[in-house]
Amino acid sequence: MRCFLPLDKLSQEPYSTIIGYPKATKKQIKTRIVELKKLGIRDVSFQGQTKIGSLNILGKGYVGVVVLSRIKNRLVAVKIRRTDASRTNMAKEAKFLKIANKAGVGPLLLAMSKNFIIMEYLDGKKIGEWVNELKSKRDIKLLKSIMQKILEDCYSLDVIGLDHGELSTISKHVVIEKSKTTIIDYESASTQRRVSNVTSATQAICIGSGISKIVRKIYRMPSKNKIIKILRSYKQEQNRQNFEKILEILKL
C-alpha cells in the first residue's frame, strides 16, 4: 500500500531535505511547493530503493533526485533539481527527453518547470538488478528480446542525433518492466556530439561491464574481438545495414 503525503507536509523535516536536496532555505522550499502545485502535483510518496537519510526515493543523480507522485489519479515520477546542481533549470534535460519521446524512446515527458520534470512512472527494475535475477539458459529468450529492444531504441536515438551520454554505464539507465523496456535519464544527453548509443550499449551489455559477465554466463556470444570489429564498421557508417549486422552477430 502506497502512502502519499500532501505537499504542505514537504516544508517539514525530514521531507524538506528531499524537495530542497541537499540544502535549501525555507524560502526556496516554499517556492518549490508552489511550483509543484502549479504543475498539478498534490502529494508525494517516499518509496524506492534509493535512500536519503530516513526516506526512500526512486533515484538520485548529479542533477536531481526522483520521487513518486500523482497527478489526479495517475502515478508519475518527479525529478527535483538539486540545489547544488551545475545547471540553473531543467529546461535542457526536458528538451532532450522530448526529442527522445518523438523517436518513441524514454519515459513520457508530461510537464516541466524551472526545478522539476514530471515524467511517466516506470514500475520496474534497473537492468543491473534485473540481470542479476537471470537464472539459467531458460532465460535466454527473454534476455535476447530485452537486448534487442534496448539496441533498437539506441539506434532510434542515433538516427535522430541524440547522444544519451551515459550508456557505457548502462546498469542504472534502463528500466525493465513486464512488457516494457525504457532508456531513462537524459541529464547528460547532447545533440552536439557524435552519437554513440548503439556502440556504448552493446559494449556495456556484451563486452566490458559487470552486466556483460553475467550475460555471457548464460548466453553464448561471439568473441569480444568480433563484436568490436562490427561495432567499428557501424561507428564509421551508422546506417540500418550495419546496425542489422550487429543484431545478426549477436543472434538477435
CATH number of domain containing 43: 3.30.200
108/212 same-domain check? no
Report, as an integer, the average pLDDT of 177-184: 94
pLDDT computed for residue 2 by the predictor: 82
Q: Which of 166, 161, 167 is nearest to 195 (CA)?
A: 161
Task: Write out the residue range of the structural domain in which residue 235 sits.
Answer: 125-249
Confidence check: pLDDT of 137 > 80: no
206/237 same-domain check? yes
Residue with cell string 498539478: 40
Computed from CA positions of residues 88, 94, 99, 104, in that sequence, does the dihedral angle turn out positive or negative? positive
220/137 same-domain check? yes
Give the model's confidence band at 200: pLDDT under 50 very low, under 70 low, under 90 confident, else very high: very high
Report, as an integer, the average pLDDT of 40-62: 95
Q: Parallel, antiparallel, or unpaired: how do β-strands 50-52 and 55-57 relate? A: antiparallel
17/110 same-domain check? yes
CA distance 190 to 213: 29
Domain boundary among 55, 85, 120: 120
CATH of the domain at 147: 1.10.510.10
Domain boundary among 88, 120, 152: 120
161/229 same-domain check? yes
**Amino acid letter for position 108:** L
75/136 same-domain check? no
Cα dihedral 232, 165, 194, 177, rounded to 10, equals: 70
CA distance 49 to 87: 26
Work out how many domains the chain is built from and give that number.
Answer: 2
188/86 same-domain check? no
Output the nine-digit C-alpha cell for 84.
547544488
pLDDT computed for residue 210 by the predictor: 87
Domain boundary among 83, 98, 120: 120
